[in-house]
Structure 1
């Protein structure tokens, strides 16, 4: 009897444009050749070769993929999402690195920067020659970024920056940091060269999730910045939140890549594992688990594609992004955990990707807005009442 993939079960390929299919195949091939053979070792050692891989990501056009001009690929948002799915099918840490570079750091400059700032930074970032990070979260302010204590004060035409940021992907390898700070004129964003006097970064260790990713704490001690470091078109919390929406969009697709990889691994394992003299795949309980997971994976992929089309049409709303982020990360981690049960004891080893994905998805579920935050965004849209305070 022939078997089908989840994509075939839901006829996902029929919903993609030729360019999107080509991008999916190209990125999947890259991930198979350059990421999958090494990612278990990177995860175990808590390392990720950002400087080695960044030019390769840049050559593929993955950085700022759906931005236009300045050396960016200028694809559709849906195509970018599909690329995120294929990268995260290898590992969430790799997709996080791409999201931070393109959807956060580059997006901030693209949305809120001057033409001079765009010309100066974006081409090098698109090529992977200049690396960026995004400093919003602080030790005491995660879900409530508006309470941040990092502050920038004007001193003549300069700005002087003081404070700290935490959980910053790429923080110790970045050439520039997009840093958000309180000012006398609301929250503002700054492009901060990481070689500035008073800027320090420290890599965070002892992580149990996103181990194949560099995470750092940033500190600013009287970091003096020229006037042209300010991103002029961002005032208030809407600035960084606009960037977070871009990153959340990539997660909607990416989380489904991790879930797909888990399910494919579990199905393959069940077809080869003998239990009580027949294949594990031949048991009703196993097939029930696989069927339920396939349905949720397919629904999540269809939701991601629908939101991608809305984004390409310019009609995607923030609460719709929250729907996608809430549903797909929540279902992805459920799928990863259920797949682990099919693999039994083998599921806890790095020989298989399932528990690595599950551990990574613990972070993906939380960052760029916790599940609870997105529930409140959706609840406010449906009831008209804010429950944040």
Structure 2
């Protein structure tokens, strides 16, 4: 029961840290109005939240070779609370960018500390535990547009960050209470050599980066500009566009649970390749769709497929990495993958500001994704693609 309480508090915290980095997507248009920012500037703002999520991951992996996981999780809750308060008071775009970066840092450090902890709480059901934890994270993404809409009704864009700060402080306190009453696992006690873990496990680390790095790059560029894309290309109102973004993220809620369940039971590498192809196909469908009903259905398909990737890749790594390498190798994978992923918004913002149409940009990215999948399939058929960690 005690471990269940810790897991429940982790699910509360992951909701908030993920909200801190995805909330900028539905806020881009209100921020454009408030600060008169360009598409390139807004894309950079969203990128900084994700870049902030990327950069502390490897340092956090090193920190975990000296500090227990629960202390790092606690620190991320404090950072998120302080960063949200700072962002709520930001007087300018540069200050807002710093706030976005700091909120992203809280999420990056959290995932590196918490995901291995979740795995070690339930070692016999890795995919299922990661799926439920990811589902809690995805509830934040699904609710972000609605929370932003509610905040704009009662205040302005600052109200969103003020609310995040208050709830983050309460959730952090809840985790402290739960962890003090629980005998937490010490499976990572021998994980004391980050570079050694990376040298030993580099094949599966590179595989994870290849799969989720570029797919995340495409996804980051798409969802951060989804509202702008729909309003400018599909003649959808701002409110309806935010609702469709909600559909995208809401479809990811069951995807985490189902995909985590499937990842425990299906040939994992083949399943990952199928999901990658499905994601590319869903993006193409978005570019050729019109009409609210069709866009809603395609948005749901897009959200379900792309969010199926995350628990599956985490299961491939965390489910097979040995205790002495788990956090360190996962940090190296996650930090590298997130740096690639974080630049997607800046790339799409810069390309569309240069005059390229959204549809052209997204179709070109899908073509590149399909080329990557073809290369990975060939590598797999040659027996060079890792299907698990090294013993």
Q: TM-score, normalised by structure 2?
A: 0.33
Which structure shows the higher strand fraction? 1
Which structure shows the higher helix fraction? 2
Question: In terms of Rg, which structure is larger?
Answer: 1
Which fold has the larger relative contact order, with Cα–Cα distance below 8 Å and residues 6 or more apart in sequence?
Answer: 2
Q: TM-score, normalised by structure 1?
A: 0.33
